[in-house]
Amino acid sequence: MELTLLGTGNAMVTRCYNTCFAFREGASHYLVDAGGGNGILRQLALAGIQAESMEGMFITHGHTDHILGAIWIVRKMAELMKKGARKNPFEIRCHAAAAEMLTCFCNMTLTPGLLQFMGNGIAITAIPPGAEFQALGMEVRAFDIRSTKAEQFGFSALLPGGKRFVCLGDEPYNPEADARAEGCDWLLSEAFCLYADRARFHPYEKHHSTALDAGRVAESLGAKNLVLYHTEDETLATRKARYAAEAKEAFSGRIFVPDDLETIVL
């Protein structure tokens, strides 16, 4: 199983793409979030991921930088189905509020010729917290991250080889969330900026973490590998080294600070 980070930035970045990623197993992919727009199609093209190979999609929440790209995924799938180039159904799973939003956006922006595939090949499925489903041979379980801003899911996934992968979503880890992240093999955490740069980027005002905070959480959970993303884009040239060094002050496991389009073997 491989993970390709299609984007690694926060909502307002212009030098990289918004945070979203794809799992790959064999020739199939599974997408998580889609960033803020048409750029998702460019990121998929640059990563060499064909829309035909995508088994399905999960959306964590309804903020602009995660859900608006999903309109383009729906449009792409509908165009493939219209041409007869995709026979397999495509299912997008998310919480009820995000499902309502995406359905509304699609209904208001796509042509009738494409909308005929909504509910007829393309499914936008609302799932409750704790819902479990299969994707690429992973056993995935969605959990409510207990955000105060908007309803939001993280998820844990049991990989085919038995490793446990946990995506905390877009906010700091909340111990009251049923994340089941203790002892996980892979922990994906947002890190808005360095703790050292907190006066410059104001992460706490936006309810975000720093690399140091993410390292502390990963250490307390006993995670083995930590992936940091959803960052500012003003320090990209030094991000990999400096974020990893700061997280390392608190975390004894392996730390990954991927660039856009980087692939990690899970």
Angle at Cα 31 formed by Cα 1 and Cα 170, nearest 5°? 100
The site map against Zn ion for 2-31 (x = CB under 5 A) is ---------x--------------------
Decide if residue 213 touches Zn ion (CB under 5 A). no
Q: Which residue in 57, 254, 266, 38 sits closest to 142, CA to CA? A: 57
Residue 190 interacts with Zn ion (CB under 5 A)? no
Using rule CB under 5 A, residue 33 touches Zn ion: no
The mark string for 153-172 relative to Zn ion (x by CB under 5 A, - otherwise) is -----------------x--
Q: Which is nearer to Zn ion, 57 or 114 (CB)?
A: 57
Q: How far apart are CA 242 and CA 136, in angstroms?
A: 34
- Of 65, 144, 197, 246, the one binding Zn ion (CB under 5 A) is 65
Consecutive H or E run containing 143: strand 138-144
DSSP 43-91: HHHHTT--GGGEEEEE--B-SHHHHHHHHHHHHHHHHHHHHT---S-EE
**Structure tokens given for 69:** 């790209």
Comparing CB distances to Zn ion, the nearer of 147 and 225 is 147
What is the closest distance, in whole angstroms, from the C-beta atom of residue 11 to Zn ion in the complex? 5
CB nearer to Zn ion: pick between 120 and 149 = 149
Six-digit token pair at 203?
A: 């992460």
C-alpha span between 8 and 260 (Å, rounded): 6
Q: Does 232 bind Zn ion (CB under 5 A)?
A: no
Q: Decide whether 170 or 197 has the Cβ nearer to Zn ion.
A: 170
Q: In this complex, which beta carbon is closest to Zn ion, that of residue 38 or of residue 50?
A: 38
Residues that bind Zn ion (CB under 5 A): 11, 65, 170
